[in-house]
Structure 1
């Protein structure tokens, strides 16, 4: 049960003045459903703004507030063109208030002809005319908020304005309770950090580095504490001590000898499984490093010891690929491998369920369907979770509840992760690393090609296909936007243009296709019936077609380094030499140039991951930003690198000295877990 002192912060956002059903929707789009969420909705940036009597007082590029009277609305002839509202100041100077896309509706509503409005924004110049693009505020009269020297700029959704968010934040901050301090006093003094309450107030008032650091540290400490509690909880639980005798593993007929890293990882996993406490280990391996073989060896250890094993994949395509791979490799052992997904129905499904219950099925591969309530196991001893970054800590806990005793858990990821971020995302796990590639894997010829050479690339793909090989063509988005240049980067548009050249030899796969169509197209490519696969990053992991030896990545600068590395890893899986073409736009930032240059230089995923982190700094993480990339809302990558080791050590000391968090600071740390909703830590505190 949540501590009573926090209840006011978890009240619905409608309890704030001025929030009704109409405002609730745009707030929910931003994840602002409760007062706590509003208090933690920090500004993206701050602008210095000056109130001016007329435009003659302002300079181009300056942030200003000025009274303007609209005189004319001008719509563009093109639906993608600008919507301009001509307005004049008190001296008759003309300024265009310019909107693009759907924002034009906002301009029409807020700026009627003949009615003076106070407008806040950046004054620019276009084609000899002054203009303000997408004014940040439009009010009927000047307010104290508009004329601030330093004004917070918050993330918005349609239906919200900056003044409204500023007013709601002020109300939320007024409801902050006094909480005991959970950060160790020495750390607070050394870093000169404010209290939790003061930090939130300061973070909304200006670019206060100490306040932001303190709030980031809170997140890192809460996450580390929750992960520590998970680890301690597992150590105390009774698991299945599974000691294999090697009889099944000795029958495996592998096409290549195991690398030293594979043998080392297998020994580490087998050693963990032989213990009474449930294993929780992460197998981190580069593209093509042979994680599936290691997972099969681990699952055979479980079967040798009289238990069952289950492998969870994030998608049905990947589950089916794993099933086929494991079934073929395990065939000499006589082990029964089955597939179970959400689409399996009728007798086939019933037969699989019965086999899991009576123990005739030794290994099952599938999606989340293998952990539904209707699925029961005779003796589940090992759970293997592939592409672990797709599943959170709470899901890891849920997946381990199926056995009579808590099964061992082996998580795998093909995304090389920098050491600091491994600590942040998998701090409750032991880690095994596959840092060697199997013998015979050829280096992939990686080249950077300008987009203007597109016709040459298309002809090159045609020659490649005519020679009997297959090719991937990856785009960064499914379909284009209002920006015409985006059409070139859209999978649907590229598929349509290439289909005229390749006819029935080309298929399209992206996440918005119906599952049946997506699987059918993927299967056509895997079987060799289709020669070219146009796709988004849905093929980033798990797709294994050895005959595909060419990868074209369109507008490669839009992808992160690690994501480019994953995509490149889809080729180079057979005996033939493979090529990866990184097609770039004409105008590149310096960071984008360095990324693409590094892709040419190395195929070491661990080096790429570290460089990706260094190049991104406080920006995105490991590829284009996706939900779940990091468990943090406030902490930037720079802060994670700098503060996480300190927070992790502090959490370790707290748990080691006071495992139940019953001391004075431990009780305050409990409040932090509830406040930041580290639900898995809260669950363990409750004895769950």
Structure 2
């Protein structure tokens, strides 16, 4: 249960004064549903208002605060602006310009002959000075509270920075004083303020580095502590040792030798499986580094040890693809492999469930349907989770509740920077496949402007004429699957005009059976071109497809571009990736595309992506089931995460865990930053 002391912060946002239905909408768009969300909605910058006694051309372009008196009004008929002519104490003139709205409104703000305290950006207009829509026009007796420095917040239409600042001040008022959870020596060394003081200071002065650092540290500390509690709870569970006798692995005829990285990783996994404590290991490998083979060998160890293994994939396409490739790889062995997705109904499903319960099925592959309550295993010993970043910590825990605390191997083809591995998978041991299997061809990447689209279509025609196949990925359209789909449908239509039935189309809103049928047709070369939205991002494996065209590549994150590019380069031939860019590029987009052209090293790309984008959206999709960081910026992660990790470990190992005095305060921090899964685990475990 959340401690009562935090209740004022976790109240609905409507508990703040002045929030009616009109203001609730923009707040909702910003994801601010509770008081604590407003408190943690930190300013991203600030405006300094320069106090001036008289107008000066030299201040043009600056935001000033000055006392002015209106002397006349000019409003043009129709849609023109209203101009309020005003003078300073020395008689210098300035125009206050208002567009739209009723002229009477400007007159009400600045009545003739009455001095007003005015703040806004001073600008040149020919030989004259003007202020367009001043931020403040206040009677002198109300102007005392105009801050010299004003915070700038991330906003949504319908709410101003000033209004947000007022709501933030109210939310800080509701914040309680909390007992200190940071180790005293660390607190003193960094000269950090107390938690509540830091919150008040950052909203009053966004440039206060110590206040921001303190809040970011608290969030990271709560995160690392929760992960350690998860790990402690998993380690305390009694699992069972699985020692393989090699009979299945020795009978397996591999067409090639393992890379050094694969051999090392399998030794690490064997060592983990041989322990009674359940394995918790994250396997990171770049696109094409051979993770599936490592997973297959791990599952064979479990089967040799007398247990069943399950492989969980994030999508139906990927689950069926794993099933096919594992059947090919393990075809000659005396083991039974089955697949189960949400689509399987009736007799097929019943047959799989009975085979699992009886222990006749040794390896099950599927989507999260394989962990529904109705699915019972005779003896589940190992769970492999593919594309780990689609599943949060909560789902990882759920998987381990099946069977007798099975061992867990999580895999990701999205290389994750070291700092984020620590932040999101701090409870896991990590293995990296940092070598490519022999025979993987480098992929040549080129960036092409969208006005050269006809040339790209001609190049595609030549590619198809030579017997090649290609992917054509349509742009990601923010917030709307429908418009992704429309873009893909329009592009498929255009290409069909040229290539006829050789063009297939897949998008996220298709029925699973139709999607699978199209993918099947492409993998059997009945389609030469597959037009797709990002549904092909992970795991699709067609060795003959050696060209990928990505439209509006500037709208994708680096990690996602790298994933998409990894769909080619899977056969023996040379592969090409064409990144089509829009007309006007931001600096960040330009840097991303240049890096894609320069390197295919996923780990380098991931580090750059973190630098360019920030942690919350690093993995292309926000972490499912896991909050991103709201207070810690990417720049802070590198410096503060290792310290937070050490401090959390110190609390557990030396300071009595959550039962000591500091531990009780830390327990409150877990609830405050919504990392309380850790506390729940301790209670249930």
The alpha carbon displacement at 1:356 in A equals 1.6
1:278 aligned residue: 278
* Aligned-partner Cα distance in 2 for 1:317–1:175: 49
* Aligned-partner Cα distance in 1 for 2:360–2:324: 19
* Aligned-partner Cα distance in 1 for 2:454–2:663: 64
1:341 aligned residue: 341
* 1:41-71 deviations in Å (ceiling 9; x for gaps): 2123222346999999896644579999986
* Aligned-partner Cα distance in 2 for 1:55–1:511: 59
* 1:562-610 deviations in Å (ceiling 9; x for gaps): 3222221110101221111223345545554444333333322223323
Q: May I ask how many residue pairs the two structures share in their alignment? A: 659
* Aligned-partner Cα distance in 2 for 1:339–1:120: 67
1:536 aligned residue: 533
The alpha carbon displacement at 1:128 in A equals 12
* Aligned-partner Cα distance in 1 for 2:134–2:320: 50
Matches within 5 A, 1:440-451: 440-451=439-450
Picking from 562, 578, 582, the partner of 2:579 is 582
* Aligned-partner Cα distance in 2 for 1:329–1:271: 24
1:227 aligned residue: 227
2:90 aligned residue: none
* 1:134-169 deviations in Å (ceiling 9; x for gaps): x79799999759953322222333444444433322
More displaced 10-residue stretch of structure 1: 642-651 or 510-519: 510-519
SS of 1:570's partner is: coil
CA contact 1:120–1:146 (8 Å) conserved in 2:
no
The verdict on how the C-alpha distance between 1:408 and 1:618 changes in structure 2, with shifts beyond 3 A counting, is closer
Matched, 1:599 2:596: yes
* 1:343-399 deviations in Å (ceiling 9; x for gaps): 222221222222221212111111111111221111111111111111111111112
CA contact 1:282–1:410 (8 Å) conserved in 2:
yes
* 1:200-238 deviations in Å (ceiling 9; x for gaps): 011111221111111111111111111111111111110
Matched, 1:115 2:115: no
More displaced 10-residue stretch of structure 1: 113-122 or 255-264: 113-122
* Aligned-partner Cα distance in 2 for 1:515–1:525: 15
* 1:486-540 deviations in Å (ceiling 9; x for gaps): 9999545444433332333223333344545444433332332222222333322
The alpha carbon displacement at 1:633 in A equals 1.3
* 1:314-355 deviations in Å (ceiling 9; x for gaps): 111111111111122122113211111122222212222222
The verdict on how the C-alpha distance between 1:649 and 1:115 changes in structure 2, with shifts beyond 3 A counting, is same
* Aligned-partner Cα distance in 2 for 1:492–1:72: 48
More displaced 10-residue stretch of structure 1: 4-13 or 136-145: 136-145
CA contact 1:617–1:638 (8 Å) conserved in 2:
no
More displaced 10-residue stretch of structure 1: 181-190 or 410-419: 181-190
Matched, 1:382 2:353: no
* Aligned-partner Cα distance in 1 for 2:134–2:484: 29
* Aligned-partner Cα distance in 2 for 1:379–1:487: 43
1:48 aligned residue: 48
The verdict on how the C-alpha distance between 1:402 and 1:592 changes in structure 2, with shifts beyond 3 A counting, is same
5+ unaligned residues in a row in structure 1: which ranges? 75-84, 98-107
The verdict on how the C-alpha distance between 1:146 and 1:623 changes in structure 2, with shifts beyond 3 A counting, is farther
CA contact 1:444–1:572 (8 Å) conserved in 2:
yes
2:358 aligned residue: 358
CA contact 2:246–2:304 (8 Å) conserved in 1:
yes
1:35 aligned residue: 35
CA contact 1:55–1:93 (8 Å) conserved in 2:
no
1:218 aligned residue: 218
Matched, 1:636 2:633: yes
1:455 aligned residue: 454
SS of 2:628's partner is: coil
* Aligned-partner Cα distance in 2 for 1:362–1:54: 84
The verdict on how the C-alpha distance between 1:663 and 1:125 changes in structure 2, with shifts beyond 3 A counting, is same
* Aligned-partner Cα distance in 1 for 2:77–2:484: 33
CA contact 2:287–2:413 (8 Å) conserved in 1:
yes
* Aligned-partner Cα distance in 2 for 1:652–1:112: 63
- Taking structure 1 as the reference length, the TM-score comes to 0.87
* Aligned-partner Cα distance in 2 for 1:493–1:69: 51
The verdict on how the C-alpha distance between 1:613 and 1:310 changes in structure 2, with shifts beyond 3 A counting, is same
Matched, 1:666 2:676: no
1:406 aligned residue: 405
* Aligned-partner Cα distance in 1 for 2:486–2:77: 37
1:417 aligned residue: 416
More displaced 10-residue stretch of structure 1: 561-570 or 363-372: 561-570
More displaced 10-residue stretch of structure 1: 162-171 or 436-445: 162-171
CA RMSD of aligned residues (A): 3.5
CA contact 1:51–1:147 (8 Å) conserved in 2:
no
5+ unaligned residues in a row in structure 2: which ranges? 87-93, 110-117
The alpha carbon displacement at 1:444 in A equals 1.3
- Taking structure 2 as the reference length, the TM-score comes to 0.87
* 1:383-432 deviations in Å (ceiling 9; x for gaps): 111111111111111121111x1000000000111212111111110011
* 1:528-559 deviations in Å (ceiling 9; x for gaps): 22222223333221111111100122333333
CA contact 1:478–1:491 (8 Å) conserved in 2:
no
CA contact 2:658–2:667 (8 Å) conserved in 1:
yes
More displaced 10-residue stretch of structure 1: 552-561 or 351-360: 552-561
* Aligned-partner Cα distance in 1 for 2:478–2:235: 48
SS of 1:507's partner is: strand
2:673 aligned residue: 676
CA contact 1:479–1:490 (8 Å) conserved in 2:
no
Larger radius of gyration: 2
2:172 aligned residue: 173
Matched, 1:653 2:640: no
* 1:259-313 deviations in Å (ceiling 9; x for gaps): 1111111111111011100000001101101101111111111111121111111
* Aligned-partner Cα distance in 2 for 1:547–1:283: 27
